[in-house]
Copies of this chain bind each other. A is one copy, B any other.
Amino acid sequence: MNAAPRERLALGVLARLPLFQSVSRQHFAEVVRQARSLHYRRGQLVAKRGEPVPGLFAVAYGMVKLELHGSAGAERILRLVGPSQTFGEIALFRQQPLLLDAVAVVDTGLILVPAATLLTLIETDAHFARGLVASLCQRLHAMVSDFEATTLHGATERLAAYLQSLAASPEAARVTLPAAKKLIAARLGMTKETFSRALGGLARDGLVRVAGRSIELLDRERLERAVRGNTLRQP
């Protein structure tokens, strides 16, 4: 009377992933059977730099940060992984050491699908292979996009773009930051101070109204322009 609820949890989470959408019922059942459910406390290390990753993690609840460490104590969050998102794919075929630490930001539940299961599935189920390739391509695309933003756009631009991306629809006028501002800042590649000032600037200019983590987008139009319009705007 323990395995059953666990399987149900895994089932629910995994079934929702795009990755398994096109997998046959049978093969999917096998994945669920081999999946394990894990729980981490806020602050606990899920995976450590340089160490092997056991497989694919899917977040059931809570949040995990994937963080890079620089020469000094400097940190940069590569990705904040929330419910129904996954991480660990990169390490599936790891010949290189893992570059980042994965840390639970709050109490977090994860579903772990062992690497072996997935490797087998690639050979067995062509649909899955296709799905996996597609999802890796998507991740790669997102990464390039992030890379571009970090390298080529200013702090306020990045923030504006992020706020836009949080809004589900083009009309949605209210978004909620999924984590502490300090973390969002690190995710966007800036310090908490710069983040605070950039958000303050948008508020002063009347583009948004801020109330804690809840942010009202007052002027999507101008916000969109802020995404492109660098600090330098040609009049």
Distance in angstroms between the alpha carbons of A138 and B92 in the assembled complex: 10
Residue among A69, A70, A78, A138 with the most chain B CB within 10 A? Answer: A70
Chain A at the B interface: mostly helix, strand, loop or mixed? helix
Residues of A in contact with B, size category: 35 or more
Q: Which B residues are CB-close (under 8 A) to A99?
A: 141, 144-145, 148
Q: How many angstroms from the CA of A115 to the CA of B147 in the assembled complex?
A: 25
Give the segment of A2-10, A34-42, A122-130, A193-201 that binds chain B: A122-130
Confirm or deny: A116 has a beta carbon within 8 angstroms of a beta carbon on chain B: no
Knowing A122-B126, A122-B129, A151-B189, the reply to whether A72 touches B230 (Cβ < 8 A) is: yes
A179, CB-defined interface residue at 8 Å: no
Residues on the B chain within 8 Å of A232, using CB: 71-72
What CA separation (Å) do A143 and B129 show in the bound complex?
22
Shortest Cβ distance from residue A36 to the other chain B in the assembled complex, whole angstroms = 22
Oligomeric state, in number of copies?
Answer: 2
Interface centre among A129, A134, A228 (most CB of B within 10 A): A129
Q: Is B148 within 8 A of A71, CB to CB?
A: no
CB-nearest residue of chain B relative to A89? Answer: B137
Q: Is A229 part of the contact surface with B, judged by Cβ < 8 Å? A: yes
Q: How far is the CB of A80 from chain B (nearest CB, A)?
A: 15
Chain B residues whose C-beta falls within 8 Å of the C-beta of A150 in the assembled complex: 147, 150-151
What are the interface flags for A86-112 relative to B under an 8 Å C-beta threshold, 1 for contact and 0 otherwise? 000111111110011000000000000
| A189 contacts across to B, CB distance below 8 A | 151
A133 & B132 in contact (Cβ 8 Å cutoff): yes
20 A–B pairs (Cβ distance < 8 Å), ordered by A = A68-B148, A69-B152, A70-B230, A71-B157, A72-B230, A76-B151, A78-B147, A89-B140, A90-B140, A93-B134, A93-B137, A93-B138, A99-B141, A99-B145, A100-B144, A122-B126, A122-B130, A123-B130, A132-B133, A133-B136
